[in-house]
C-alpha cells in the first residue's frame, strides 16, 4: 500500500527526538526537568506565632529532602527555637551574624537521621539573606536536624564567607514567606549568652498546601 505514512504518536515522536540528541544535551535536559520540582511550604506553629517557610527542593534537593523528612516524621513537634545570635552576644567572634536557631526536642537528638552532605551556596545559587532558611552544622557534611533563620543579610554564611573557618559556608535551602515579624520577636527575646531563656516552643511543624509564590518575606 502506498501513500503517506501514518502519523507518529506523541510518545513515538518524543522518543525519536530524544534519540537524536547528544548524550550531554540529553543529560542537561533531564537535569533541568529534575530541578523543576516545585517548592514545598512548611508551617511552624510556635508559642509566639506562626512562621511559614518555602523549602527549595529544586536548588537544594538534599537539604530540602532532609528537612522535610524531619517535618513529616513529626520530629520538630515539641522542639524549640533555642538560640538567638545578636551583635551583643558574640564578643569572641570577629565575624558577626544575626540568626535564630531551632531543632527537635533534645531527647530525640540521639536518634537523628544520618548527616547529609553540604550543599554549598556556590553550587545551589542560593544566598543567606533576610529570612533565609539554612542548616546548622559543625564540620562539612555533619548537618542533621538543627536549622536557622537569618535576620538581615548574612553574606559571611555563604560559601567563601568567614563565619566558619573552613570557608565552606552553610546550606541555604529556603526562606520565610510569612511570619518574619515572629522571627524578629524570637530574635529579640531574652538570652543567657546565646541561649534563649526560655526557649520558644515549636508546637507543630507540618507541610501545607503550596500557595502562590510571594515576592519576598513578609511580616515586616
Domain limits of the chain? 9-37, 39-208
Overall CATH class of domain 39-208? mainly beta
Confidence of residue 8 (pLDDT cuts 50, 70, 90): very low
Q: Which three cell numbers stand for residue 2?
A: 502506498
pLDDT tens digits along 70-112:
999 999 999 999 999 999 999 999 999 999 999 999 999 999 9
**Whole-angstrom distance, CA of residue 143 vs CA of residue 109:** 12
pLDDT value for 106: 97
pLDDT value for 30: 52
Element housing 181 (H / E): helix 180-187
Which segments within 115-194 are labelled E, that is strand? 132-135, 147-150, 172-178, 191-192
pLDDT value for 58: 97
Confidence of residue 214 (pLDDT cuts 50, 70, 90): very low
- Tell me the pTM: 0.81
Amino acid at each position: 500500500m502506498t501513500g503517506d505514512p501514518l502519523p507518529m504518536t506523541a510518545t513515538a515522536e518524543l522518543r525519536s527526538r530524544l534519540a537524536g540528541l547528544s548524550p550531554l544535551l540529553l543529560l542537561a535536559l533531564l537535569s533541568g526537568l529534575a530541578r523543576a520540582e516545585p517548592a514545598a511550604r512548611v508551617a511552624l506553629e510556635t508559642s509566639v506565632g506562626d512562621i511559614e517557610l518555602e523549602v527549595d527542593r529544586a536548588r537544594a534537593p538534599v537539604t530540602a529532602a532532609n528537612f522535610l523528612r524531619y517535618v513529616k516524621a513529626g520530629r520538630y513537634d515539641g522542639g524549640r527555637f533555642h538560640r538567638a545570635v545578636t551583635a551583643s552576644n558574640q564578643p569572641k567572634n570577629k565575624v558577626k551574624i544575626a540568626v535564630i536557631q531551632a531543632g527537635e526536642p533534645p531527647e530525640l537528638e540521639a536518634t537523628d537521621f544520618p548527616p547529609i552532605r553540604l550543599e554549598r551556596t556556590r553550587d545551589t545559587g542560593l544566598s543567606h539573606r533576610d529570612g533565609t532558611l539554612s542548616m546548622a552544622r559543625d564540620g562539612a557534611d555533619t548537618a542533621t536536624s538543627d536549622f536557622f533563620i537569618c535576620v538581615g543579610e548574612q553574606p559571611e554564611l555563604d560559601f567563601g564567607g568567614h563565619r566558619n573557618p573552613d570557608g565552606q559556608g552553610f546550606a541555604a535551602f529556603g526562606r520565610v514567606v510569612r511570619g518574619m515579624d515572629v522571627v524578629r520577636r524570637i530574635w529579640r527575646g531574652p538570652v543567657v549568652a546565646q541561649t534563649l531563656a526560655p526557649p520558644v516552643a515549636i508546637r507543630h511543624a507540618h507541610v501545607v498546601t503550596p500557595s502562590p509564590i510571594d515576592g519576598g518575606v513578609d511580616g515586616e
